[in-house]
Structure 1
């Protein structure tokens, strides 16, 4: 599992990004379960994720951050990256970020791809 923590901080909200290879939906579930074993990720406000499975299936999870999974999926499609799950974690800081939250998700995914491009 690859991780970047403290990627973005804005108005009290903090972001991290994690990822790794997965083959199927069971792999996604196992990855998320392992991620949440770390108390700080289990207590995060949102763990949004997206993956294009090797068979072409698109899977995503917003975890309460409406639209976040689709943002991640679109970026994976542009990169033609399959079989690799990316999770953007947000700890809510008390102030709404509006549309900036989508820019932050994109920045997290971009940072992940630059650091760990498979």
Structure 2
């Protein structure tokens, strides 16, 4: 998927699985295009959540996609890393068991993985 970097199957816990993706985006239209590209892959169409965040033209934007608080956590990490005009998406396939606070640790670990490996 050109312009989109995907790190799949990086975390698994009690049946839930996580992936992290991202790519350059200067505005909401480019974020939407990257999300559409990600969701065009059959495996990602079946995901429960695609939480994301970006800092576009200096403005923070985020979407939890039903994973309450995940977008804010991703945004906080992007701000700390100084990564602007770039969207990061944490995808979760819900495994049937609630993870409680561990889900925030997994979102943070996924973003850390992306920040360490993106080119």
Per-residue deviation, 1:39: 1.2
CA distance, structure 2, for counterparts of residue 33 and residue 42 of structure 1:
10
CA distance, structure 1, for counterparts of residue 43 and residue 52 of structure 2:
17
Stretches of 4+ aligned residues off by more than 3 angstroms: none
Question: Is residue 84 from structure 1 mapped to residue 102 from structure 2 by the alignment?
Answer: no
CA distance, structure 2, for counterparts of residue 46 and residue 59 of structure 1:
17
Structure-1 residue corresponding to 2:36 = 33
CA distance, structure 1, for counterparts of residue 28 and residue 8 of structure 2:
25
Structure-1 residue corresponding to 2:72 = 70
CA distance, structure 1, for counterparts of residue 105 and residue 84 of structure 2:
22
SS in 2 for 1:97: coil
Structure-1 residue corresponding to 2:21 = 18
CA distance, structure 1, for counterparts of residue 105 and residue 82 of structure 2:
20
CA distance, structure 2, for counterparts of residue 6 and residue 40 of structure 1:
11
SS in 2 for 1:65: coil
Per-residue deviation, 1:6: 1.0
TM-score normalised to structure 2 length: 0.95
- Deviation track 1:24-55 (CA, whole Å, cap 9, x = no partner) reads 011011111111000111110000000001x2
CA RMSD of aligned residues (A): 0.7
Structure-2 residue corresponding to 1:51 = 54
CA distance, structure 2, for counterparts of residue 83 and residue 112 of structure 1:
15
TM-score normalised to structure 1 length: 0.96
